[in-house]
Amino acid sequence: MNFKQESPISIAGAGPAGLTAAIVLAKHGCKARVYEISPDVGHRMNGDFQGLENWSSDKDITSLLKNDIGIDINFLCAPYYGGDICAPGMGPLEIKSKKPIFYLVKRGAMGGSLDKGLKEQALSLGVEIIFNSRLNFAEGGTIIGTGPKRADFIAVGITFDTGMKDLATVVFNDEIAPKGYAYLLVNKGYGTMATVIYKDYKNEKKYFENMLNFFKNNKNLDIKNDKKFGGCGNFFLKDTNVEQKTIYVGESAGFQDCLWGFGMKYAIVSGYLAAMSIIKNSDYDLLWKKELKPMLETSLVNRYLFEKFGHTGYRYLAKGFAKGDPCDFLKYHYNQTFFKNLILPIAKSRYKSQIKDKN
Ligand SMILES: Cc1cc2nc3c(=O)[nH]c(=O)nc-3n(C[C@H](O)[C@H](O)[C@H](O)COP(=O)(O)OP(=O)(O)OC[C@H]3O[C@@H](n4cnc5c(N)ncnc54)[C@H](O)[C@@H]3O)c2cc1C
């Protein structure tokens, strides 16, 4: 690709993917202009906690952000080394890891969120962000990071103030989260709980109630000032993410963990790769295929198996998490094997995005 550097690189979407691309471009002396349809960053989220996964590679995600990509940690980024996990017919099993399993971050337009942190970094580097605006015409190169187009899963939850201690709990159970999972996260007096469902969206209220009852019965819930939040995630595999001078990043490129929706790392890494492909005039497709495709494909196979084995599979997973180090267990399952490569064509033919994102 050969972009004209004198005109700014136009970026649609000020999510983690688009803002990372803008930050990296600006750090390398390229002008970047971001068009964001909402009045501020993080409008798709509502102050919920999300997990920046730290299991799919040996390198710590914070080191990847700071040292490889060049992103400062100017947002809440709290390491979680363990928690507990529940599956049908099994009490909570404690899980504990040597390294952080994930880093808890906040999403939304408020101070301390990942979104606000990235915005501040971009602005301080001279990136222009135009809010309430969508990209119509771009003179130079274009990066599209506009998030999900359709819903392959939906999440329904609440955020709340609480007197509970810091914790992380995951529940696998089709009565609470069909083919997905529910989670409860608490950090310093603030909490998030949600059910992430991959089937039967029309009964989202029932699953939310089931989740609430489950946590009421199993945790000493203390919920004050609760606020609803929700959203969707979209995953798909494409052969190319470059169309003429347009590069797709993050969820708008289908980059999403097909198993459980841990899309932030994909968004940030793909934003970085897109920027580097412009800076170095190299092939973006080659870059993401090397860095992201193997894990994307494995996560698709994992989703196929997760759905196929249902409650039996959930119990196997819960035991696997609790038996050894959960990071090692997850890393093994997020990496390609001969068996998973064999199943990939079946998994690929099985998944088609389900509904349009009405949001
Ligand atoms: C409830 C929920 C919980 C989640 N939990 C986790 C988690 O725990 N861990 C994890 O890793 N991931 C999680 N994810 C997924 C993660 O949030 C996304 O994968 C990630 O935000 C994708 O980043 P992105 O930059 O590609 O897109 P987005 O974050 O969606 O950003 C896209 C931006 O583009 C803007 N936009 C859209 N259309 C246009 C347009 N036409 N013009 C201009 N701007 C436009 C949007 O307003 C938005 O600001 C969760 C998602 C949801 C919904």
**Average pLDDT of the residues in 274-300:** 97
Tens of pLDDT, residues 223-262 = 999 999 999 999 999 999 999 889 999 999 999 999 999 9
Centroid of ligand 1 to alpha carbon of 334 (angstroms): 22
Q: Is 263 in the pocket of ligand 1 (CB under 6 A)?
A: yes
Exposure of 201 by Cβ count < 10 A (0-12 exposed, 13-18 middle, 19+ buried)? middle
| CA-based nearest residue to 173, from 138, 213, 114, 140 | 213
Tokens of 189: 């007096």
Tell me if 264 CB under 6 Å of ligand 1.
yes
Distance 338 CA to ligand 1 centre (A): 32
Atom of ligand 1 nearest to the CA of 53: 11
- Residue 138: the pLDDT is 63
C-alpha 253/C-alpha 255 separation (Å) is: 5
Domain residues of the chain, as ranges?
Answer: 9-75+107-150+234-294, 153-232, 295-356
| Residue whose CA lies nearest to ligand 1 atom number 26 | 250
The answer on pLDDT for 21 being more than 70 is yes
168 Cβ contact list (under 8 Å, min separation 6): 80, 82, 83, 84, 104, 183, 184, 185, 186
Kindly give the distance from the C-alpha atom of residue 62 to the centroid of ligand 1, in angstroms, as a whole number.
Answer: 20
Is pLDDT of 355 > 90? Answer: no
Under CATH, which number does the domain 9-75+107-150+234-294 receive? 3.50.50.60
Task: Please give the pLDDT value at position 352.
Answer: 65
For ligand 1, pick from 41, 50, 247 the residue to mutate: most ligand atoms within 8 Å of CB. 50
Please give the distance, rounded to the nearest whole angstrom, from the Cα atom of residue 148 to the centre of ligand 1: 7
Residues 6+ apart with CB under 8 A from 204: 154, 156, 195, 197
Query: Which of residues 49 and 332 earns the better pLDDT score?
Result: 49
Res 94: pLDDT = 96
118-154 residue pLDDT tens: 999 999 999 999 999 998 766 667 999 999 999 999 9
Give the nearest ligand 1 atom to 251 CA. 26
Which residue's CA lies nearest to atom 52 of ligand 1? 231
Burial group, residue 243, by CB count within 10 angstroms (0-12, 13-18, 19+): exposed
100 lines ligand 1 (CB under 6 A): no
Structure confidence at residue 139 (pLDDT): 60
